[in-house]
């Protein structure tokens, strides 16, 4: 056999000359969108985007029609419309990220994490006061919610994947139904079941309970997905070695799914860390750091943001953006960690 010296090629990819022509079409569309928006009475970034896409669509249609065929030209229109849809989806995400960082960083300062608002008002200059109380409150409430939700969520997932009893289908259905419960309803439930009947006072633990209702389905469903990925021969191997089901699950299945279960917890935290409505109903809110979840109202980051936003002055709104920035960074870290953990397993 002779040694081949042939190079792999991809003749279906665009050639440099074609790429240059496409770039020309693209730039022409940008130029057109600039002029059209200048002379018409439409305004705003989205006007540029829309006119650009319309112009691109028309130019690309003509280009494809001239160089290829009518069906290729029609395909080009579809491609432009589909890409436009994607751009419309991506646009707000970047707008949100950019806005939060640009407006939020002005409210950051060094004592943000060491001071609470007991000695400062929302209207004070930014350097006064901080959101220690809010961070502590969110941390405590989410931590307690996690302690409640993880066992229940993972047990639910184990029931759905390991026991597979007579209730498997209804429970899978109920877990899905539960993940659709509006957060305000979770708050109303704790209010009606515990605050009005038993404690008659706001406290952090009530917030945790309300958050748990939102957290359990997230943890249960993510864990279920993870446990389903564990090959069943692992389970059979465990049982075939004479292990009881309990030992097989505890010593084989759960350890194999460990990083996935951690991902489930992290996604559960991310799901509730920014919840506002139920906390407004059941945890009250306060301006000072409260370390006792069983006594007295407790602040939280979303509550802090909500209060600062509602106050409505320039300083308070800056505080709200700073609070949102901190919250967003927390969510970003959680989310990236979860991605990393679940990606590492392949």
Partner 1 sequence: MVNPEEGEKDMSTVTPSSLSSVASASGKVRTPGTTALGVGLEARGIHAWFGQKHVLNDISLDFWSGTVTALIGPSGCGKSTFIRTLNRMHEFIPGAAMAGQVLLDGKDIYESGTDVTKIRLKVGMVFQKPNPFPSMTIAENVLAGLKLAQLKVENKDDLLEECLERAGLWSEVKDRLSAYGGSLSGGQQQRLCIARSLAVRPQVLLMDEPCSALDPGSTLRIEETISQLSSSMTIIIVTHNMQQAARVSDYTAFFLSDGGPGSMVEVGPTGEIFSRPKDKRTENYVTGRFG
Partner 2 sequence: MPSATGLPQRRELTTKPRFSDKVFRGIVTTGGLSSLLLLGLIFAFLAYQGFSILKMEKFSFITGSQWQVVLNDSGAIDKANTAFGIAPMLVGTILCAIIALVVAVPVSVLAALFLTFYAPPALKRFLVAIIDLMAAFPSILFGLWGFFILMPSAEYWAKLLHKYFGWFPAFKMEVPIFTRSPFVAGVVLAIMVIPIVTSISREVFAQTPLDRVQAAYALGASRWSMIRAVVLPYGRSGVVGGAMLGLGRAMGETVAVYTVLNIVYQVNWHVLVGAGGSVASMILLKFGEAGAQEVKALMAAGLVLFLLTLIVNSIANAIVAKSGGKGR
What part of residues 317-336 is at the interface with partner 2 (CB under 8 A)? 317, 320-321, 324, 327-328, 331-332, 334-335
Written as six digits, the tokens of 273 are 């860390």
3 state SS of 195? helix
Select the residue interacting with partner 2 from 25, 29, 141, 175 (CB under 8 A). Answer: 175
Residue 83 burial (CB count, 10 A) = 13
Residue 80: φ, ψ to 5°: -65, -40
Helix axes 314-344, 301-311, angle to 10 degrees: 150
The angle, 0 to 180 degrees and rounded to 10, between the axes of the packed helices 314-344 and 70-104 is 120
**Binding partner selected for residue 201 from partner 2, partner 1, none, CB under the kind-specific 5 to 8 Å limit:** none
Site string for partner 2, 7-46 (x = CB under 8 A): -----------------------------------xxx-x
CA–CA distance, 189 with 309 (Å, rounded to integer): 26
- State the residues that interact with partner 1 by CB under 8 A: 1, 4, 6-12, 15, 18, 67-72, 74
With CB cut-offs between 5 and 8 Å by kind, which of partner 2, partner 1, none does residue 12 bind? partner 1
Q: Which is nearer to partner 2, 270 or 299 (CB)?
A: 270
Q: Which does 152 bind (CB under 5 to 8 A by kind): partner 1, partner 2, none?
A: partner 2
**According to CB under 8 A, which one of 62, 147, 181, 229 is a site residue for partner 2?**
181
Q: Which stretch binds partner 2 (CB under 8 A): 55-63, 230-238, 253-261, 275-283?
A: 275-283
- CA 154 from chain center: how many Å? 21
- Least distance from partner 2 to the Cβ atom of residue 297, Å: 14
Q: Tell me if 175 sits within 8 A of 153, measured CB to CB.
A: no
Place of tokens 């389970």: 235
Kindly tell me which of 6 and 165 has the beta carbon lying closer to partner 2. Answer: 165
What is the C-alpha separation between 159 and 224, in angstroms, rounded? 9
Binding positions for partner 2, 92-131, rule CB under 8 A: 92-93, 95-96, 99-100, 103
- Pick 118 or 169: Cβ nearer partner 2: 169
Least distance between partner 1 and beta carbon 217 (Å)? 34
Distance from C-alpha of 176 to C-alpha of 34, rounded to nearest angstrom? 48
| CA–CA distance, 53 with 59 (Å, rounded to integer) | 10
**3-class DSSP state of 65:** helix
Q: Which does 60 bind (CB under 5 to 8 A by kind): partner 2, partner 1, none?
A: none
């Amino acid at each position: 056999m002779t040694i081949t010296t042939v190079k792999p090629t991809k003749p279906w990819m665009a050639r440099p000359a074609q790429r240059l022509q496409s770039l020309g079409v693209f730039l022409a569309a940008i130029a057109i969108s600039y002029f059209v928006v200048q002379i018409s009475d439409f305004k705003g970034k989205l006007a540029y985007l829309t006119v650009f896409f319309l112009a691109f669509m028309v130019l690309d249609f003509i280009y494809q029609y001239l160089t290829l065929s009518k069906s290729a030209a029609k395909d080009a229109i579809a491609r432009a419309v589909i890409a436009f849809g994607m751009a419309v989806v991506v646009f707000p995400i970047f707008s949100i990220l950019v806005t939060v960082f640009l407006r939020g960083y002005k409210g950051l300062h060094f004592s943000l994490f060491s001071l609470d608002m007991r000695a400062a008002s929302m209207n004070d200059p930014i350097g006064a006061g901080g959101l220690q109380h809010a961070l502590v409150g969110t941390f405590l409430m989410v931590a307690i919610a996690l302690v409640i939700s993880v066992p229940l969520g993972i047990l639910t997932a184990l029931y759905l994947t390991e026991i597979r009893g007579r209730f498997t289908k209804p429970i899978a259905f109920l877990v899905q139904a539960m993940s659709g419960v509006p957060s305000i309803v979770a708050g109303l439930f704790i209010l009606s079941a515990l605050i009005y009947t038993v404690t008659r006072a706001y406290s952090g633990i009530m917030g945790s309970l309300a958050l748990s209702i939102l957290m359990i389905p997230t943890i249960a469903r993510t864990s279920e997905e993870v446990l389903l990925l564990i090959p069943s021969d692992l389970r059979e191997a465990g049982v075939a070695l004479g292990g009881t089901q309990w030992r097989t699950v505890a010593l084989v299945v759960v350890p194999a799914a460990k990083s996935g279960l951690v991902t489930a917890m992290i996604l559960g935290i991310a799901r509730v860390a920014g919840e506002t409505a139920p906390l407004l109903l059941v945890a009250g809110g306060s301006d000072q750091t409260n370390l006792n979840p069983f006594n007295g109202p407790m602040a939280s980051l979303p509550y802090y943001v909500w209060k600062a936003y509602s106050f409505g002055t320039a300083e308070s709104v800056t505080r709200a953006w700073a609070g949102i920035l901190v919250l967003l960074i927390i969510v970003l870290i959680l989310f990236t960690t979860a991605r990393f953990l679940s990606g590492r397993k392949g």
